[in-house]
Structure formats: C-alpha cells, structure tokens
C-alpha cells in the first residue's frame, strides 16, 4: 500500500506564449488519493493530459513502478493502468451506455457479457446504470457514472479525476467520495484535480499545488487550513466582493408558468417556471449542469420564444419578442459559451461590440454602420474592464478566457441594463478576473439593476446573491433568501441525489 506508483520529475510543456507546466515534480503512492490543486489556468489539465498520453512533454520524466513511463497515446497509458474521467465528458450522446463503455476499453467482451459486467460493477460501487440507455438522455451525474465505470472495468492502478464534482449535487458528491474511498481501500491510486479546498480536505491524503504552471508546494490537506492552501494556490490576497445591501425596488421581471421545449435533441425542457425579480436584486440560480440553465437563458434572451405572457417586463408581456426588442426595453443577457455564442471567435472586438451593442449604443443609422462609434464602444469596454488585448481590432479568439469573459460582461454592463441575466459568468476564468466580474455584478445591482446569476459554483452564488433558487430537471424551486441557507438545504433544492445510493462497502 505504500509503494510509489507514479513518480514525476521536472515535467515541462510550453505552448506558444505560455508555459503550461514548468519543472513540475511529485509522487503518487499506491492506494493514495492525491490532490492536484490550482486555479483555472494553473496547468492542471495539461499535466494530466501528459500522464494520459494526450500531450507529449517537452522535457522531464515519468516513472511507473520505477520503470520509465512515456505513453505515446492514451491507449498506451490505459495499458499501463491509467484511467481518466474527463471534466468535459468524452461521451457519445447518440450511442448507448454499453457502446460508450466498450469504446473506452482495449478488448471489450461481447455486448451481452459487457452489459452484464456493467450491471455488476455499477451495483457493487453504488452507481446503478442501465447499459442499454442512450447516453444523451442521462443526467450529468449519470453521465459521470458512465465514465467512472468505463475506467473501473479496466482495473486501473491510477484513476485520474478532473473536476469531478462540478456537475454533482452535494449529496451526489458524498456518494462519489464513498466510491472513491472504496477504490483506494482496494489499492487504487487516485489523482484528484480540483480547486475546491473543502473537498480536498475531506478526501485527499496528499496535495500538490500548482500556480501558473509551477509546483508551488505540497501539503497534507487534513493538517493544513483551507486558508493556507488558498494562499499557496492564489499567491496573493484576493479582494472579496461585498454586497452593498441596497433596498430592493419594484418587480421588473415577472416569470409565470414558463414552459418551453429544448431546442437541442438531448437538452432539458423548462417546466412551469415562476419567479419575480425586483430592481436592485441579485438572484442566484444554482443547479447541476444540464438541468435547464442554457434553456432558461435562451428563453430570457429571446433566442427561443415562449408564450407572450410567460415573461413580463415591468408588466408588459415580452415572451414573443426578439433579442433586440428585449434589449431595447433593457433586458440584456450574457450566455455561458463565450466563443461561438456570446462572441464570434474570428471577428474583431469591434465587431463583437456591435453584436449586442448596436441598438442601445446607437452604432448604426438606418442600418448603415458607424464603425468609428463601434470601435469607441469596444475601446471603452476594454479600458473600463481591464481587458488585456492589444486593441479592438484583434479577433475575439485571440483573447484568454478570462479577458474575453470580462469583455462579454463589460459589453452588457456598459449598456446600462435594467435587467441583466448571466450564465456561468466566471466559468474557466482566473481568480482575479472572476473577482472583477463579481464586483461588476454587485456594482450594477447597487445602481438599481436587477441581476440573475446562473451558476454551478455555489460559493460564487452565496457571495453575490441576495436570493437563491435552483434548477432541477427544468423546474425552478421556490426562491429563498441566501442568508441562513445551509449546504444540505441547497443540496436538497438541487434535487438531492439523483437515484444514487451509497456504495456497499
């Protein structure tokens, strides 16, 4: 149980303009749960991709059981006993569970035998799954089970889990941890990647902390305070946004009985949603990914229409209005997907400023564009929101995730909305950009704007929101004040554990 399984020394990988990993070294023992801790962009993903054979290191060595380990491709890594559960699942929506699992195995048995094996293993680890269901119809938690069982069927020695809890309710997290503890008891090592400190303290035996690609320290999480780990991870004190606590005004947005089918084949339909939003209020909407968050944003932005009176803006029905008609009234939105939805990747920042700003910033006359005005608007966003870019003529795709997100949020904030809806405002964004974005949201609310923040980051919602509600299978819970909510209550609002049970240890 104590032998060294994987030893990593001086791993370095550089991409143009950024060193993703710089001389990273650490060891993982058999049966150990080892945390890889770091902010978004600290180089965690690149590191595990090297272990899994997806990326080749520029220099440095890896040893498995004392022998050199240089996987040329994932197949080789799997053969050596490395299995990985991806953050963005590598699943095939149109195929069924058994087919998905077969694709991840070297020598899968015949389908019928495989299905039987899936049933056995999934029961044993408390992760029940029907092998013949189409994966696209599964919830996020169930999809993760598919990935985990795919790994378990290969008898892995090392299981890599990349941000596994971001798609789970707190109850589901508990069940997952039980499963993982059972695995380590059997001698499997787990490399657990996360930026959530409490989870790591609860689960992991050792932790390696990365910052900007460098190994900045190791610790035993159970003996280290969350605060100390956070300081190692972030490197400097962060300013935490504070709610100005202004009095709430009139009801500006009134959603009553909003139901809408999902535009995508494997999406979630919205079912009878009710909520009232008042001027100056920040409403946090939590929930596990894929429970109707994207659909709610589409319904509010006007990209998908619903019954006219299902959404009322200051008493006027707007459910049938186009995105621009809603913008004219003062209802602005910022979708989750930055590249391709909120912004066009190959177009310049000026053109992207025009994308939503045309109407309220009067960037065109009779349809004819005023490019200098649009350029000035883009420059204003860049300046006021500290977007790091050479200038407004650069393509959106040349910006880092955090900078583009600041641009997207800034574009809406500077249009002085009466209601702003944002989905996952800080997803994949570095800590300082995230803090700036949260502060902008709070400032906006202090000025009397009503804001809806849809997010899977519960800490973020607790920090900015006055009130909280959760989406669960397309339904919205009742809205409750954030003050005094416990994590258990939130978990139950998010739907508890979706048909899971604790592992039979």
Partner 1 sequence: MFKLEKRPQPSQAFAYLTPILAIVATMIAGGLLFMMLGKNPFESIRTIFWDPLFGEFAFYYRPQLLVKGGPLILIAIGLSLGFRAGIWNIGAEGQYIVGAICGAGVGLAFYPLEAWFIFPLMIIAGAFGGWVWAMIPALLKVRFQTNEILVSLMLVYVAEQLLASMSLGLLKNPDGHGFPGSRNLKDYPSAFNDEVITGSGMHWGVVAAFIAVIFAYILLNRHMLGFSIRLTGEAPRAARFASVNPTRLILFCLGMSGALAGLAGLFEVAGPAGQISIDFNTGYGFTAIIVAFLGRLHPVGILFAGLLMALTYIGGEIAQANLGLPAAAIQLFQGMLLFFLLAVDLLTNYRIKRISKEAV
Partner 2 sequence: MDLSAINPALLLASLLVAATPILLAGIGELVVERAGVLNLGVEGMMITGAICGFMATIVTGTPLLGFIFAALGGAGLAFLFALLTQYTLANQVASGLALTLFGLGLSSLLGQDYVGLKPPSTPQLDIPVLSDLPFLGTVLFSHDLMVYFGIGLVAAVWAVLKYTRAGLVLRAVGENHEAAHALGYKVVRIRVLAILFGGACAGLGGAYISLVRVPQWTEGMTAGAGWIALALVVFASWKPWRVLLGAWLFGGVTVLQLNFQAAGVAIPVEYLSMSPYIITIVVLVIMSADKSRAPASLGRIFHASS
Binding interface with partner 1 (CB under 8 A)? 16, 56, 58, 301-303, 322-325, 327, 333, 335, 337, 340-347, 351, 354-356, 358, 364, 367-369, 394-395, 397-398
Q: Using CB distances below 5 to 8 A depending on partner kind, what does residue 78 bind out of partner 2, partner 1, none? A: partner 2
Q: Using CB distances below 5 to 8 A depending on partner kind, what does residue 16 bind out of partner 1, partner 2, none? A: partner 1
Query: What's the rounded Cα separation, in Å, for the pair 245 and 225?
Result: 30
Query: What's the rounded Cα separation, in Å, for the pair 425 and 223?
Result: 33
Least Å distance, CB 368 to partner 1, is: 6
Are 331 and 318 in contact by the 8 Å Cβ rule? The answer is yes
Out of 49, 143, 326, 373, the residue judged to bind partner 2 by CB under 8 A: 49
Q: Tell me whether residue 50 or residue 422 sits nearer to partner 2 (CB atom).
A: 50
Q: Using CB distances below 5 to 8 A depending on partner kind, what does residue 89 bind out of partner 1, partner 2, none? A: partner 2
Instruction: Please name the residues in contact with 465: beta carbons below 8 A apart, sequence gap of 6 or more.
Output: 282, 283, 284, 453, 482
Half-sphere exposure of 38 (CA within 13 A, CB side): 26
Q: Is 134 in the site for partner 2 (CB under 8 A)?
A: no
Q: Is 75 in the site for partner 2 (CB under 8 A)?
A: yes
Element (H, E) at 431: helix 431-446
Q: Using CB distances below 5 to 8 A depending on partner kind, what does residue 344 bind out of partner 2, partner 1, none? A: partner 1
Least Å distance, CB 400 to partner 1, is: 10
Are 319 and 305 in contact by the 8 Å Cβ rule? The answer is yes
Helix (H, G, I), strand (E, B) or coil at 400: coil
Structure letter (DSSP) for residue 208: E
Instruction: Please name the residues in contact with 324: beta carbons below 8 A apart, sequence gap of 6 or more.
Output: 302, 358, 359
Instruction: Please name the residues in contact with 74: beta carbons below 8 A apart, sequence gap of 6 or more.
Output: 52, 53, 54, 84
Q: Is 103 in the site for partner 2 (CB under 8 A)?
A: yes
Stretch that binds partner 2, among 52-60, 287-295, 370-378, 414-422 (CB under 8 A): 52-60
Token reading at 478 = 């009742």
Q: Tell me how crowded residue 336 is: count the other CB atoms within 10 A of its CB.
A: 19
Out of 30, 58, 93, 418, the residue judged to bind partner 2 by CB under 8 A: 93
Q: Is 44 in the site for partner 2 (CB under 8 A)?
A: no
Q: Is 496 in the site for partner 2 (CB under 8 A)?
A: no
Least Å distance, CB 104 to partner 2, is: 6
> From the CA atom positions of the chain, what is the Rg in Å?
24
Least Å distance, CB 184 to partner 2, is: 25
Q: Is 73 in the site for partner 2 (CB under 8 A)?
A: yes
Out of 31, 53, 319, 330, the residue judged to bind partner 2 by CB under 8 A: 53
Q: Is 406 in the site for partner 2 (CB under 8 A)?
A: no
In 3D, which of 14, 10, 6 has the Cα closest to residue 60?
A: 10
Least Å distance, CB 341 to partner 1, is: 4
Q: Is 411 in the site for partner 2 (CB under 8 A)?
A: no
Least Å distance, CB 486 to partner 2, is: 37
Query: What's the rounded Cα separation, in Å, for the pair 53 and 65?
Result: 17
Q: Is 164 in the site for partner 2 (CB under 8 A)?
A: no
Query: What's the rounded Cα separation, in Å, for the pair 409 and 226?
Result: 30
Question: Helix axis angle, 401-413 relative to 349-357, nearest 10°?
Answer: 40
Q: Is 74 in the site for partner 2 (CB under 8 A)?
A: yes
Total chain residues near partner 2 (CB under 8 A) = 23
Return residues touching partner 2 (CB under 8 A): 46, 49, 53-55, 73-75, 78, 86, 89-95, 99, 102-104, 108, 265
């Amino acid at each position: 149980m104590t032998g060294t399984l994987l030893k990593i020394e001086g791993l370095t990988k550089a991409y143009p303009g950024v060193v993703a990993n710089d001389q990273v070294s650490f060891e993982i023992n058999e049966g150990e749960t080892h945390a890889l801790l770091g902010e978004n962009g600290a180089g965690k993903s690149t590191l595990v991709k090297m272990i899994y054979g997806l990326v080749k290191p520029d220099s440095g060595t890896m040893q498995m059981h004392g022998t050199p380990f240089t996987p040329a491709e994932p197949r080789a890594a799997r053969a050596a006993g490395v299995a990985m559960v991806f953050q963005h699942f590598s699943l095939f929506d149109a195929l069924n569970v058994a087919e998905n699992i077969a694709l991840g195995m070297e020598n899968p048995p015949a389908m019928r035998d495989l299905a039987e094996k899936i049933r056995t293993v999934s029961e044993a680890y408390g992760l029940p799954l029907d092998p013949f269901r189409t994966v696209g119809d599964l919830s996020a938690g169930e999809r993760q089970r598919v990935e985990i069982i795919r790994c378990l069927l290969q008898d892995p020695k090392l299981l890599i889990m990349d941000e596994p809890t971001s798609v789970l309710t707190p109850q589901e997290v508990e069940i997952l941890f039980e499963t993982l503890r059972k695995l380590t008891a059997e001698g499997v090592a787990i490399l657990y990647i996360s930026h959530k400190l409490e989870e790591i303290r609860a689960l992991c035996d050792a932790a390696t902390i990365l910052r900007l690609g460098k190994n900045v320290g190791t610790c035993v999480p159970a003996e280290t305070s969350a605060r100390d780990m956070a300081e190692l991870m972030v490197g400097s004190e962060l300013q935490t946004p504070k709610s100005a606590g202004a009095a709430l005004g009139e009801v500006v947005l009134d959603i009553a009985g909003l139901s809408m089918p999902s535009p995508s084949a494997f999406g979630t339909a919205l079912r009878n949603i009710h909520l009232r939003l008042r001027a100056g209020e920040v409403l946090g909407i939590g929930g596990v990914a894929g429970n109707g968050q994207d659909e709610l944003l589409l319904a509010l932005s006007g990209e998908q229409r619903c019954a006219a009176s299902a959404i009322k803006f200051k008493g006027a029905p707007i459910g049938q209005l186009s995105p621009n008609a809603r913008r004219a009234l003062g209802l602005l939105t910022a979708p989750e997907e930055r590249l391709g939805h909120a912004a066009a990747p190959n177009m310049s920042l000026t053109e992207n400023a025009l994308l939503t700003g045309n109407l309220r910033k009067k960037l065109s006359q009779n349809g004819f564009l005023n490019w200098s005005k649009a350029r000035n608007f883009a420059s204003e966003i860049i300046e006021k929101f500290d977007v790091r870019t050479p200038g407004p003529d650069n393509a959106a795709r040349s910006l880092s995730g955090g900078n583009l997100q600041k641009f997207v949020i800034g574009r809406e904030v500077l249009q002085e909305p009466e209601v702003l809806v944002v989905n996952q405002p800080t997803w994949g964004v570095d800590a300082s950009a995230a803090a700036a974005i949260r502060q902008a949201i709070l400032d906006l609310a202090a000025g009397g704007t009503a804001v809806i923040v849809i997010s899977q980051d519960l800490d973020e919602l607790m920090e900015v929101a006055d009130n909280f509600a959760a989406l669960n299978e397309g339904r919205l819970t009742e809205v409750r004040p954030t003050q005094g909510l416990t994590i258990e209550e939130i978990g139950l609002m998010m739907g508890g554990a979706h048909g899971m049970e604790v592992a039979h240890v």
